[in-house]
Structure 1
């Protein structure tokens, strides 16, 4: 058999099964065999390292990789914004993330240059700009600034934070515009948020009919809608309108979790950003953001437990913003504290792949899957702090190519 065999490691395949000492063959970017390397085969010696699928972050904001206050104030050049975006993409690979779902901020040009290999980065799925209602979450223009000027700050091909809609017809036009720019799914803000401009955390945003328009447009293109949502009223409204995924889900209660299960709606909790925002002032954000985030972590942890009991598919997303996105694996460490390192790994691999529509392609170390894998210097299932330390990711493979590290 041709191909290169990764030998001498322990494989945690992303399914939740116990790790096993097996060898993995990679050929033409795919995993072609698992077992024992034949005599005389080309090998890469892992030297006892733990091999996992490449990690997947289902909630990133590459387009918000600059100092947030300065970016929201439009004080940065396109060159600086681009430099920060591409640096963040490289950091993702170095931390072991081979696929990310960008949930608002980049334009299709970023996805394209990474896919072409002109810039180091993970595989990127993007919704393009977030869809928000006029003056809702996702809009950060000054109160005195005419609403129409907000979109003038977009940088075509690079970044566009949000598109605003005042009614269903405007939303239909905006989601079609997002697809024109290369979006592969849609994201709507249906409640207020923690980093709010003109909204409150307990606001509900967009009507059932408006959300249903976005769902209709997504389904017409064979894709789905996910929603930024913290409170139960907004979540239930979106689920009944046909969305497929909920981001954050801070206050999910048992009735809401049951409704999500009935409609097969997935959940992507986001704990790392909550910790990050406790130091809002250092990020150039309004100190009131700290007040908004107070209590969110515990409520999100309770919602996670409730959602797990209801049998929801639960993915994993970091939601980090600003220039300090190097330790994206912090989300796995935080989830491991609440559940277990294995559950965190499964959420960040096979479950996230399923949520992103990539199940059967990435997210597991299995024959026939893309060779997206990470070799860890120490066992992250024994010590989840390993996930949070990019230096612990010794080798990162994306499509069979070594994106970080050297073989021996």
Structure 2
């Protein structure tokens, strides 16, 4: 394959180091040289643009890309749900995200068609359906509907929101089923949540022993468990059971952060979804959902500061829901307000790659790494609002292939 040099730009390599002028050579999907393009080389002229690693969103729900009330009310055809999923996948790529971790909602077929190139989208790591306790967070069936009918709402190969377990044996069976369907990691809901009608944020769900069953099964397959968790009791249960990562972490206090640090448990805060839910024109949810989230943004910001001071690894996830997922970079903008644009970029690249277990291949601009690259028309490190503007993404390169941008 011909070498292509991305030349004439400034490189922010994902490590947090000061950006510097450099040209990047790509061959067979891999970064092979970083330096100065030789005379006569085939080049893509960046004309001074900032070049960063492809962004990584560690908390997405591609399978929840349709209007939420209509989807949860089972009012949509499989064709419409599929169209919305594929549209969101393409928009995610165009916003500069070359890798995402889907934390519940899609079935294995979506991952496959994107990987085969039949649908434009980022690299997808998926847990398949999330795991929740009977009637816990992740279950959206009607109160009158028998529990055993819940899984009949799944669309095999396309959409599968959650599997419910009433005890450790059922959980073991269900997580094995997730792996059979192609899951690359597991996600459990161990506290109540915001978008849900059967629980409260202060609820804890699953016991330490039950969570440990999922950890045992994941470890047997060389992978890990992450957990949806808002309150400290649920987070501490999950840490003691051996999970790798906590999603949201809204109420993390200092003792819990120290416990996470001691056990090398990472945190993925999710700010963008809070703003999305609080905006009545952005997401069609029941008004009670907005009441649940009152004060959550402030508490999550405090948890972020406490976790950072404790030395917890902190990634980045948007958790956007419904049809309004095109401004996925909003999460970087919000994080930049709380920390810095560079810290947001590092969390969305090298740190996220490390949390996802793919840090040896993506997340940084380094020789030998996969050529996942984004060129920005304006510098988001000077103005973090640029992260949230898909039109500011001039080029997107995924594994060496230019997926967005005119090279002429």
TM range (shorter): over 0.9
Q: State how far apart, in whole Å, the 2-side matches of 1:315 and 1:164 are.
A: 28
Q: State how far apart, in whole Å, the 1-side matches of 2:152 and 2:93 are.
A: 32
Q: Which residue of 1 aligns with 2:230?
A: 230
Q: What value does the CA root-mean-square deviation take over the aligned residues?
A: 1.0
Q: Which residue of 1 aligns with 2:188?
A: 188
Q: State how far apart, in whole Å, the 1-side matches of 2:210 and 2:281 are.
A: 35
Spell out the pairing of 1:3-402 with structure 2 (5 A cutoff).
Answer: 3-279=3-279, 283-402=283-402
| Shift in Å, 1:319 | 0.1
Q: State how far apart, in whole Å, the 2-side matches of 1:365 and 1:197 are.
A: 44
Q: State how far apart, in whole Å, the 2-side matches of 1:123 and 1:210 are.
A: 31
| Shift in Å, 1:30 | 0.4
Q: State how far apart, in whole Å, the 2-side matches of 1:106 and 1:2 are.
A: 36
The 8 Å contact of residues 69 and 283 in structure 1, kept in 2 or not, is answered as no
5+ residue gaps in structure 1? none
| Shift in Å, 1:280 | 5.1
- TM-score with structure 1 setting the length: 0.99
| Shift in Å, 1:188 | 0.1
Partner secondary structure for residue 313 of structure 1: coil
Q: State how far apart, in whole Å, the 1-side matches of 2:391 and 2:209 are.
A: 48
CA deviation map 1:335-374 (0-9, x unaligned): 0000000000000000000000001200000100000000
Partner secondary structure for residue 21 of structure 1: strand
Q: State how far apart, in whole Å, the 1-side matches of 2:129 and 2:22 are.
A: 43
* Runs of 4+ in structure 1 over 3 Å off: none
| Shift in Å, 1:279 | 2.8
Question: Which is further off, 74-83 or 274-283?
Answer: 274-283
The 8 Å contact of residues 283 and 324 in structure 2, kept in 1 or not, is answered as no
Q: State how far apart, in whole Å, the 1-side matches of 2:279 and 2:154 are.
A: 28
| Shift in Å, 1:2 | 5.7
Q: State how far apart, in whole Å, the 1-side matches of 2:164 and 2:359 are.
A: 32
CA deviation map 1:246-274 (0-9, x unaligned): 00000000000000000000000000000
Q: State how far apart, in whole Å, the 2-side matches of 1:282 and 1:11 are.
A: 35
The 8 Å contact of residues 125 and 184 in structure 1, kept in 2 or not, is answered as yes
CA deviation map 1:215-264 (0-9, x unaligned): 00000000000000000000000000000000000000000000000000
| Shift in Å, 1:52 | 0.1
- TM-score with structure 2 setting the length: 0.99
| Shift in Å, 1:297 | 0.2
Q: State how far apart, in whole Å, the 1-side matches of 2:211 and 2:281 are.
A: 34
| Shift in Å, 1:294 | 0.8
Q: State how far apart, in whole Å, the 1-side matches of 2:101 and 2:190 are.
A: 19
The 8 Å contact of residues 315 and 348 in structure 1, kept in 2 or not, is answered as yes
Aligned CA distance change for structure 1 residues 203 and 43 (closer, same or farther; 3 Å): same
CA deviation map 1:170-210 (0-9, x unaligned): 00000000000000000000000011120001000000110
| Shift in Å, 1:283 | 2.8
Q: State how far apart, in whole Å, the 1-side matches of 2:286 and 2:390 are.
A: 30
> How many residues are paired up?
408
5+ residue gaps in structure 2? none
